[in-house]
A and B are shown apart, each in its own frame.
Chain A
Amino acid sequence: MSAGPLSPEARSDKFGAAEEGGIVRCDACPVLCRIRPGRAGACSRYANEDGRLVRTDPVVLLHKAVDEGGKLVAFETGEWDGAPLDPARTFVTGIGSGTTYPDYKPAPFIVSAEHEGVDTVTVVTEGIFSYCGVKVKIDTDRHLGPERAAVRVGGEEVGHVTTAEYGSQMLSVGGVRHLTGGSKKEGNTTCDALLRLCSGEAVAMSIDGGHEVVVQAGRAPVVDGKPESRMRVGCGSATVGIFAKQWLGQADEVVVVDDHITGVLTEHQAGRVLGMRPAGVRVRGRRSTPGRYFQVANPGVGWGGTDIEDPLSVIERIDPAVAWPGLRLLMTSTTGEHALWCVLDEALRPVPAGMPEAVRKVVERIGENCEPSLCTVLFMAGAGGSLRAGVTENPVLLTRSVAAGETRVTMGGAPVYLWPGGGITVMADVLRLPKNAFGSVPTPAIVAPIEFTMPRGLYARLGGHMEDVVAIGDILRDVAPGARVGAWNADNPWPMGRPRPPAG
């Protein structure tokens, strides 16, 4: 029997641990069966053969080796048609690769390949992350809850509201203190919520002193049962500031209705700088600074996040000493979804009229400048711990090499942002990983794929497990036939530099 690194013996060693009396403990799943010699574990897939953990069926071994060795991702769009995979265009990800325990065992797959004439090694594993969580950006100006308020799922505290960003509310969910620092229920709820968020599923959360929000990566948030659509271009005041010049000469007054700050053009600094004549249109609410009004109405689902259906109702009065018959008034919302054009009659009453084309273009431009409201989920975790021992015998060298940019870190092939400073703390957009990339263990902790790619010479210098390096060609030959093969996400940079163009 072959004793190569892909041999059953070598692979079995990675997943089992010998105990007294010839018993082998199988680490392949959370049951952790202790298997006596000549017997199989609860799954019948793993057995103890002469004190060594083996797969019971060579055909299944091949299949399982793929389960363990991960998803082979061809650098092509479209599904794999079964044609031979080009080693130069195939990347083995850590998804489903399993993890080795104790940590000093070499990672499940250490793959060598030649890329642009450089021998490259990719260490493929799945990390068990106790220190991990997600940062959620929710594109809405709606008040979700006060900063620092607890975020709950099923009543359990799983995170908190953190500093709001421009046009977005931010949540921090997960982290070690919720996963393992609280009650068992809190930990399991947190782990489950993280897993669902990372898997692109919808998670309903409630915020103490705030609202209910349903978050799903890549989808619009649903706040108190109402889906958001457009992110507003800015508050009413900002909208006045952005478009003031484009309205000059087209309208005599513009009121941008907004639940946060309603803007009135001629009174606003922008209108004054343009030398616009005061129009005498007074809106309701509390004046913050000239042309900027708080609380013109109540929050709601009408114009600009207010409860207003008739925009003229925000007008408190029109000053006869200032306004004039024929004054052209535009009322619009911060997303351009609502707009009304009026002309004052002899009694200075606003009378709806057909909107001139030039004005309509500017209103449409407000809409064009609104981005779709989305939830985005970044997975954040620290890989600076014992996981590194599966990569190299001298873990700090890996940390330094990653920090120096010599070793590229990917998660399921997706690029990561490496936080500067100590350790290997990374963030990745969960939507850039392939489907079903995340898992969990009972700890509770999240399991996520992680790959370290570097030149072969560097891997040797880092104290890498050189005897466990396997050529990509061998992996494709031995493991690919049953592997999950997926298309490379074209938005992700190729981890090994530019691939050769497809032959033929």
Chain B
Amino acid sequence: MQALGGGRLHLQHGPIDVVLRAWGARDAVAGAYEAAVVRFRTVLRELVEELPELRKAMDDGPRVEGAVAKRMVAACLPHGGVFVTPMAAVAGAVADEVLAAMTGAATLDKAFVNDGGDVAVHLAAGEKMAVGLAADFSEGPVPAIDGRALLRSGDGIGGVATSGRQGRSFSFGIADSVTVLARDAAGADAAATLVANAVDLPGHLAVRRAPARALDPDSDLGDRPVTVAIGPLARDEVAAALAGGRCRAEAMRASGLIRGAALTLRGETVVIGDGRCLSPRRAERGLTR
């Protein structure tokens, strides 16, 4: 645990890295931070205890008890018909859980909990928050901020999550990044994972894949092939891959699972949903986070 600049708090345990901030009365902020620290303390332990269940495919009916684990399962449940494990929502679920602890402990004007790019957001009436989207990997592994989401209270968005090949997790697809706005961070996280999987060029020779377990012997993805490297792609191939993802994202939006999404591959971005919220801003390219 350490304090960062700008009144932010950094919590880290094993693979979980959380940066959070709350706004409000001084006592309220202090109470919220204390609640976050207390809640965070046991999160990894709870997840590790149920890891075998959380690595099961949703079709195999994972049974979990923990609060974070339940958020993960709930976020994946609506996505019937495709392979997904609760792990697809782990980062977002942790963010939601810590945010819930903060807002449960104190009345805050606004707050965010950013768990490695999956952000849970709380906005009291009349508040708004701009979330920078670091999604452009075309110039190297450190992404440029190339867009932002402007969230307002009452717009029904409590989670912003980014998934893709450049993250820590494996992807079946080839998207550089997919950012999703949804009711909560766990829902956004699961959706972003699945949309990123759908940005794909099945059978394309430039896309090299390997069984997940060949890379990580304990992967929840088993021996399913995950993307390892991508060679040169033609412009129409990029467009075709993005179209696959857009189709999946539009279906999720139509069924109310997400509010908006931005899909990026090789510098090309497709935005769906609430254009007011998501605005790619080329002018800010080159700014690193």
A residues sitting closer than 8 Å to B (CB atoms) are: 21, 23, 28-36, 39, 41-44, 188, 192, 195-196, 201, 436, 440-442, 444
Contact = CB atoms under 8 A, between A and B. Distances in A.
B14 A28 contact: yes
A1 to B, nearest CB: 25
Given A44-B168, A440-B45, A442-B48, A39 B218 contact: no
A23 B217 contact: yes
B284 to A, nearest CB: 26
Interface string B16-38: 01000000000000000000001
A21 B13 CA distance: 28
Contact of A43 (B14, B42, B48): B14
A31 B14 contact: yes
A15 B17 CA distance: 20
B14 A442 contact: no
Nearest to B12: A43
A36 B214 CA distance: 8
A416 to B, nearest CB: 24
Contact of B216 (A32, A39, A188, A436): A39
A442 B218 CA distance: 19
Contacts of B214: 36
Contacts of A21: 217
**For the complex of A and B, 4 pairs with smallest distance between CB atoms:** A29-B14, A42-B15, A43-B15, A30-B48
Contacts of A42: 14-15, 168
Given A201-B38, A442-B49, 9 more contacts: A29-B14, A31-B15, A34-B216, A39-B215, A43-B14, A43-B15, A44-B168, A436-B1, A444-B45
A35 B219 CA distance: 11
A422 to B, nearest CB: 32
A36 B168 contact: no
B41 interface: yes
Interface in B207-225: 214-218
10 contacts: A21-B217, A29-B14, A30-B14, A30-B48, A31-B44, A31-B51, A36-B216, A39-B215, A43-B17, A440-B45
Contacts of A41: 15
A397 B48 CA distance: 37
Contacts of B48: 30-32, 442
Nearest to A435: B1
Contacts of B215: 36, 39
Contacts of A444: 45
B248 to A, nearest CB: 26
Contacts of A43: 14-15, 17
A201 B42 CA distance: 15
B44 A29 contact: yes
A439 to B, nearest CB: 8
Contacts of A39: 215-216
A436 B40 CA distance: 13
A30 B41 contact: no
Q: Which of A31, A34, A41, A196 has the most CB of B within 10 A?
A: A31
Given A23-B217, A34-B217, A29 B15 contact: yes
B41 to A, nearest CB: 7
Interface in B106-126: none
A44 B168 CA distance: 7
A24 to B, nearest CB: 11
A121 to B, nearest CB: 30
Contacts of A33: 15, 216, 218
Contacts of B49: 442
A181 B45 CA distance: 19
Nearest to B213: A36
A75 B152 CA distance: 50
A158 to B, nearest CB: 15
B47 to A, nearest CB: 8
A324 B51 CA distance: 83
A440 B15 contact: no
A441 B45 contact: yes
Nearest to A35: B216
B137 to A, nearest CB: 16
Contacts of B38: 196, 201
Contacts of A31: 14-15, 44, 48, 51
B272 to A, nearest CB: 30
A90 to B, nearest CB: 21
Interface in B158-182: 168
A29 B43 CA distance: 12
Interface string B187-222: 000000000000000000000000000111110000
B13 A29 contact: yes
Interface in B39-77: 41-42, 44-45, 48-49, 51
Interface centre among B1, B44, B168, B217 (most CB of A within 10 A): B217
A188 B41 CA distance: 12
A338 B152 CA distance: 57
Nearest to A184: B49
Nearest to B168: A44
B41 A195 contact: yes
Nearest to A436: B1
B92 to A, nearest CB: 16
A25 B218 CA distance: 11
Contacts of B17: 43
Nearest to B218: A34
A30 B214 CA distance: 22
A440 B44 CA distance: 11
Nearest to B1: A436
B165 to A, nearest CB: 14
A95 B41 CA distance: 16
Given A30-B45, A195-B41, A440-B42, A36 B217 contact: yes
B278 to A, nearest CB: 27
A36 B213 CA distance: 9
A42 B13 CA distance: 11
A108 B15 CA distance: 21
Contacts of B42: 188, 192, 440
B227 to A, nearest CB: 15
A73 B24 CA distance: 34
Contacts of A441: 45
Contacts of B44: 29-31
A42 B217 CA distance: 12
B3 to A, nearest CB: 12
A30 B46 CA distance: 10
Contacts of A440: 41-42, 45
